[in-house]
Amino acid sequence: MTEPGARDDHSLAAELAGTAGRLLLGVRDETGFADARALKDTGDLRAHEYLMAALAERCPGDAVLSEEGRSSVAGKRSLGDDRAPTRNTADAERLTASRVWIVDPLDGTREFSEEGRRDWAVHVALWERDASGAGRLAAGAVALPAQGLTLRTDAVGGASLVRTDLADPDPVTAGRGPAGAPPPREVPLHVPAPEGEKLRIAVSRTRPPEFVRRLAEAIEPEVELVPIGSAGAKISAVLLGEVDAYVHAGGQYEWDSAAPAAVALGAGAHASRIDGSPLRYNREDPRLPDILVCHPMSASTLLTGIREVSGALP
């Protein structure tokens, strides 16, 4: 339990992800959907600048690795703002830091720019060095602004689902409480076990990997592939019971999975590389190209199937 007066990194991650999400909803209203590129760039950079400023103020001694703070994207400009985006902490400093925030200000820019789509997210994760000198994900939050939800870790090693719009039905507690009683704003989050005869696997809606199609043919039970937008939305769908697993290979970075992996582990899910090895963060090369998230009872089946179709891996 968090000591009185101590900084609660879990609550801070959720607060920052939720606030950046509300900012992005405002960008959608302000910019509209006629120019997708302008909407994507404006959303990316405004959410990035908000998170960089908030972390500098709230955690001034911590390092930051943001997708939009890389030198490769530093030439982007938000509409009406000619300032260069705030750069990430220099690699030499980040790699020796004891605390590093790994953030994706807007995960799923394609879906963000399409009117009516709800499968995009904001990721805020904290990596912390441990006594051995290695490190681990210490906190994380995934905001799904268009769904009015935030999934977050907590101070006792678990995870919670926070409903940010009390006017919407609660997907977890709807129908379970006393008649007329408002549902709780925050409830514990536990990855649900698969039900039924099909295993539902989330895949990219634009680039479904061929090896996942082969995996679906190689394993029992029957598999249904479910296209969903951002990585954060896919992993959240596993934790909310909308699908049973997320399998990906072929190109991701640490910011794509750090926050959702932290929440998934807190919710009791299996989260690993597709060869079963642990996910490692805050490395010199931030590429982390593959991931498997599922209920623990499905992990052995999926890992065995992935090994059988490894020749089809991208």
Does residue 52 sit in helix, strand or coil? helix
pTM metric for this prediction: 0.91
Q: Going by DSSP bridges, is the β-strand pair 222-228/198-204 parallel, antiparallel, or unpaired?
A: parallel
- Tens digit of each residue's pLDDT (9 = 90 or more) over 141-200: 999 999 999 999 999 999 999 997 655 554 444 444 445 566 668 999 999 999 878 999
Neighbours of 222 (CB within 10 A): 10
pLDDT given at position 5: 46
pLDDT above 70 as % of the chain: 86
- 93: part of which helix (H) or strand (E)? helix 91-94
Instruction: Inform me whether the pLDDT recorded for 14 exceeds 70.
Output: yes
| Nearest of 61, 71, 67, 50 to residue 93 by alpha carbon | 61
Does residue 263 sit in helix, strand or coil? helix
Quick one: average pLDDT of 107-114?
96
- Residues making up the annotated binding site are 67, 104, 106-107, 256
pLDDT given at position 132: 83
| Nearest of 187, 196, 280 to residue 239 by alpha carbon | 187
Instruction: Inform me whether the pLDDT recorded for 220 exceeds 90.
Output: no
- Domains, the chain, with CATH or none: 9-189 (3.30.540.10), 198-312 (3.40.190.80)
For the packed helices 9-31 and 36-58, what is the interaxial angle rounded to 10 degrees?
A: 150
Question: Tokens at residue 174, please?
Answer: 């709807």
- Asked which of 182-186, 268-272, 279-283 is least confident by mean pLDDT, the reply is 182-186
- Residues making up the annotated binding site for Mg(2+) are 67, 104, 106-107, 256
The amino acid present at 180, given as its one-letter code, is G
